[in-house]
Chain A
Amino acid sequence: MSKMVKTGVFVLLLLTVMVLPAMNVYSQEDMRAVDSSAFDCPIRPPAVFAHDDHNDTAGIDDCARCHHLFDDNGRKIEDESSEDQSCADCHAQEDKGTVPGLRKAFHWNCKGCHLQQRTGPVTCGECHVKK
């Protein structure tokens, strides 16, 4: 094998290794935890959350159940969802008017639903599992 082919194969392999994890970000099957990268200084481990397994178990088909959209008056817009956006696009670090801050939004969304449905984790350590 010529040196050029060897270099080519190496570069391709390197690219694959670099690009694969980036592609996984968009593949919900591989999501194992809530994305906490938007927090300025996260003080707990990211909440465990296997997106597809969770929704299979919970029987959730409607994306807007979590990926909701609200109008300026704080009313939920039915039939519209926001999975093309990041949670942090709307939810800042702190509360802003009627829009809860990111931490509060996550807690209300997850824990709030679990309490309503009387199933799912609700104590701190069940979601923020230390490694």
Chain B
Amino acid sequence: MTSLYAFVAGPLAWAAFLFFFGGLCYRLLSMLRQVRQSEPFIFSYMSLRYSLRSILHWLIPFFAMGWRRNPILTGVTFIFHISLIAAPVFIVSHVVLWDEAWNLSWWTLPDAVVDVMTLVVVAACLFFALRRVLRPEVRFVSDASDYLLLVLTAAPFVTGFLAYHQWPAGPWMTIAHMVSGELLLALIPFTRLRHMLSGWLTRAYIGSEFGAVRHARDW
């Protein structure tokens, strides 16, 4: 078991980070290449100011008209994404590992807060899945991959919650937590979860076009 842990925490973790960061770089380059091939004029009006203006306006909950149209979905989306990022980055157990491996450390959230955030992520995944089943207009554009992505996203949070509460006792839930987290990281660039990168670029593009070309607001 210790050897398995060493493998999952060693080579497998390196592979996951390599796929994650390498994959995101690859995605960025291939997106830029595609734009240059098919619509190179976009580069002529890309603007940092209008990009940031659009991103900032859309970062504020319920500010953009698009956020107001579905207030419940918007609320769930915001607390889901905040929890999804903050819980793994600021949980003590992870910061301790960074500290002991690389001498890197930063401030942490209390375990009880992260516990609630973890449940928020899992509950939000259930909400998104239910929405796909119950809303006809969403069901129409959903297929198996949409549900698989939700399972992939929720898995490290479910296993992390169980490992923290030691249900069951022993190493296996922690190993499952590590493997599911590594799988998620590695697959982000190669699934629609890459919106973690492309989402910002989409806003930058639309913001630039509305700001510099149409002279209109895009929120």
A and B: real partners? yes
Give A residues with C-beta under 8 Å from B: 43, 95, 103-104, 107-108, 114-115, 117-126, 129-130
User: Size band of the B side of the interface?
Assistant: 20 to 34
Is B92 on the interface with A (CB-CB < 8 A)?
A: yes
Nearest CB of chain A from residue B12's CB, rounded to whole Å: 14
Is B69 on the interface with A (CB-CB < 8 A)?
A: no
SS class, residues of chain B in contact with chain A? helix
Which residues of chain B in 75-111 are interfacial with respect to chain A, using CB atoms and an 8 Å cutoff? 92-93, 96, 99-100, 103, 111
Nearest CB of chain B from residue A119's CB, rounded to whole Å: 5
Bound complex: CA A47 to CA B165 (Å): 15
Q: Determine the chain A residues whose CB is within 8 A of the CB of B93 once the complex forms.
A: 124
A129–B169 touching, CB < 8 Å:
yes
Is B186 on the interface with A (CB-CB < 8 A)?
A: no
Nearest CB of chain A from residue B126's CB, rounded to whole Å: 25
Top 9 A-B pairs ranked by shortest CB distance? A123-B174, A123-B171, A125-B166, A122-B5, A118-B2, A118-B3, A130-B166, A119-B2, A107-B100
**CB nearest to A115 among chain B residues:** B6
A43–B92 touching, CB < 8 Å:
yes
Complex partner residue of A125 from B6, B103, B111, B174, CB under 8 angstroms: B174
Q: Determine the chain B residues whose CB is within 8 A of the CB of A118 once the complex forms.
A: 2-3, 6
Q: Which of B2, B93, B165 is most buried by chain A, counting CB atoms within 10 A of its CB? A: B2
Q: A103-B96, A119-B2 are in contact. Are A129 and B166 (CB under 8 A)?
A: yes
Complex partner residue of B163 from A95, A104, A125, CB under 8 angstroms: A125
Bound complex: CA A119 to CA B169 (Å): 18
**CB nearest to A130 among chain B residues:** B166
Q: A114-B2, A118-B2 are in contact. Are A126 and B100 (CB under 8 A)?
A: no
B166–A108 touching, CB < 8 Å:
no
Complex partner residue of A126 from B96, B111, B171, CB under 8 angstroms: B171
15 additional contacts (CB under 8 A) given A115-B6, A121-B171, A125-B174: A43-B92, A103-B96, A104-B99, A108-B100, A118-B2, A119-B2, A122-B6, A122-B171, A124-B174, A125-B164, A125-B166, A125-B169, A126-B170, A129-B166, A130-B165
